[in-house]
A and B are shown apart, each in its own frame.
Chain A
Amino acid sequence: MNPVSFFHGVYPILRKRALAKEIYDLTLHAPDIAMAAQPGQFVHIRVDGFQLRRPISICEADPCRSTLRIVFEVRGDGTKALSQLPEGALLDLLGPLGKGFDILPGGKAVAVGGGIGVPPMLAAIQPYGNDGTVICGFRSATAVILQEDFVRAGAQTLLCTDDGTAGRKGFVTAALDELLRTEKPDIIYACGPQPMLKGVVALAQAHSIRCQVSLEERMGCGVGACLVCGCKAVKDGEEYIAHVCKDGPVFDSDAVIL
């Protein structure tokens, strides 16, 4: 069993931006977490007045600048309160938590993100530079986020919207299907709604490409102690209940039942 290693502290918000309607981008000064963070891991954020912390994936960690970037959507009262904190406010974080994406040095990767599943794809694709491709899907042009960041990371970007108001009209799975006809990446990363994940995993399997998915579940402790965030997983051919916070949020697609 691996030793658990994460930090607990309060970290100031250096910068806050609204990226789209109800989507916020916070940059925090968090040297220890930024140093330790792996792509795909998350931080568990305490929000005053709420019993449970909010798990938010790490969008970008910069150990040189000691910064951590998180991008989240206002989904309820807790994330709303979080979105109302001003620059300079202190955030109580636990992190980095969970198991992140496996990065393959020298390999080629495709990252597929849907909606608020897009932010962790930035950390995942950055290590690949020009050998990375990102396929993002959003409801509409007004919901599109982070495209310049992916370009800055050197990745090729493919943008899809459900209504065709930006990029191509249609789902990310159609774009991925097309891409895989001409390219064979070493790994595919995916984060987004369940149907999208299933579609991506099916395509990866059809092309015999390794695939990792990042899952979401209502969480309690965030560190693997309380066991509320279960998900069906497979090990040595046997089904068992894994936990998204500790065994995930990133799983190999063949080790989890979506």
Chain B
Amino acid sequence: MSDLPISPAQTASDDGHLAVRMCGIDFKNPIIPASGAFGFGREYESLYPLSRLGGISVKGMTLHKRDGNPMPRVAETPAGMLNSVGLQNPGVDYFIEHELPNLLTKDTVIIANCAGSTVEDCTEMAKKLNRTGVHMIELNISCPNVKAGGLAFGVDCQSAATVTHAVKNAAPDKPVMVKLSPNVTDITAIAKAVEAAGADAVSLINTLLGMRIDLASRRPILKQNVGGLSGPAVFPVAVRMVWQVANAVSIPVMGMGGVSTWKDAAEMMLAGATCVQVGAALFQNPLAPIEIIDGLRQYVEESGISSISDLIGGVQPW
């Protein structure tokens, strides 16, 4: 970790109280649009400069381009949504050539989210990304929407450890954060396994597997029958899992799952998250990350704490 890229936080003097440090990277604030909800950042730029964000976790990539799952890929649920995009993406080479150069000018931390159906695919991607300016790799072993790989790694301690170890070796210059699935009996076991295999951080939770059925047609709304649940409905589950994992490992945790307001983000940090990703909330309110950052800033100012990082893991359990 000797030659880390320039830390975006150095240019963000106004957010000093919101700065957090994770895996040796300075984030100007802890709020990061979640992978899959923000593309490669281009779409939301007409609403606000990307430099206001703590970071961006880009759309999940695979070694080769993927077309994704058949439509419909989305269904609304009480306080949330199901998605079944199936990792549609242009492939890691396209990202490195056409999207990353633009992203690296945005003065924010760029997290490359990648998924693979084999250890070899993941290793190959990690090698390629290690030679780029991305600040961090988020290894997605928890996509519920692809048959091979993805979740297959994320529900078994041994496979999770194997792929983490391989990616860490292939990308020795980048912090590797492993994104965990909530669709397991004990998420702390997987977290401990990837920590032991060399993960620099974990992020959680990916979506919870869910299903909706149309009464009239008796067909599932999603063409893949099932998909990943996100949105406020999953928030308490995410807080619980972040808390459990933060207590089980000594590497930092990035928390996500249904965060829509600054209070949700603060709660996630109290549970043990150093940074917080925001996903489904963007679809209802594209300004959600910015409003959360502004809300956290006001909270820090009004509550008199010296830094937002005081919240991390600050819950006082009964």
Contact = CB atoms under 8 A, between A and B. Distances in A.
B287 A225 contact: no
Nearest to B282: A221
A35 B85 CA distance: 34
Q: Which secondary structure characterizes the binding site on chain B?
A: loop
Interface string B70-110: 01111111011101010010000000000000000000000
A120 to B, nearest CB: 21
Contacts of A50: 76, 284
B46 A227 contact: no
A255 B81 CA distance: 30
B314 interface: no
Contacts of B74: 52, 218-220, 226, 228-229
Nearest to B285: A46
A52 B76 contact: yes
Contacts of B36: 226-227
B1 interface: no
B283 A226 contact: yes
Name the interface size band of chain B. 35 or more
B59 interface: yes
Given A52-B284, A53-B283, A217-B72, A223 B79 contact: no
**Chain A interface, DSSP helix/strand/loop, else mixed:** loop
Query: Interface range on chain A: under 10, 10 to 19, 20 to 34, or 35 or more?
Result: 20 to 34
A5 interface: yes
A248 interface: no
A94 B47 CA distance: 10
Contacts of A5: 46
Interface string A1-23: 10111101000000000000000
Contacts of B236: none
Contacts of A220: 74, 81, 83, 283
Contacts of A227: 36, 39, 59, 68, 73, 85, 88
Given A4-B46, A223-B43, A228-B85, A51 B73 contact: no
A78 B81 CA distance: 14
Contacts of A78: 76
Nearest to B90: A240
Contacts of B231: 51
Given A3-B46, A221-B37, A226 B83 contact: yes
A1 B37 contact: no
Contacts of A53: 283-284
B73 A52 contact: no
Contact of B42 (A1, A6, A240): A1
A241 interface: yes
A58 interface: no
A57 B75 CA distance: 20
B97 to A, nearest CB: 13
Interface string B47-84: 10000000000010000000110011111110111010
A39 interface: no
A8 B287 contact: yes
A78 to B, nearest CB: 7
Contacts of A8: 47, 286-287
A37 to B, nearest CB: 15
B235 interface: no
Contacts of B72: 217-218, 228
Contacts of B75: 218
B150 to A, nearest CB: 16
A51 B71 contact: no
Nearest to B75: A218
A227 to B, nearest CB: 5
A4 B81 contact: no
Given A8-B286, A224-B43, A51 B67 contact: no
A230 interface: yes
Contacts of A224: 39, 42-43
19 contacts: A4-B42, A8-B47, A8-B287, A50-B76, A50-B284, A51-B76, A51-B81, A51-B283, A52-B76, A218-B71, A218-B73, A220-B81, A224-B43, A225-B44, A226-B36, A226-B74, A226-B83, A228-B74, A229-B73
Given A51-B284, A218-B72, A225-B38, 5 more contacts: A6-B47, A217-B71, A218-B74, A219-B74, A227-B36
Interface of A: 1, 3-6, 8, 46, 50-53, 78, 94, 217-231, 240-241, 246
The 9 nearest A-B residue pairs measured at CB: A225-B39, A228-B74, A223-B43, A228-B73, A225-B43, A218-B72, A241-B67, A224-B43, A218-B74
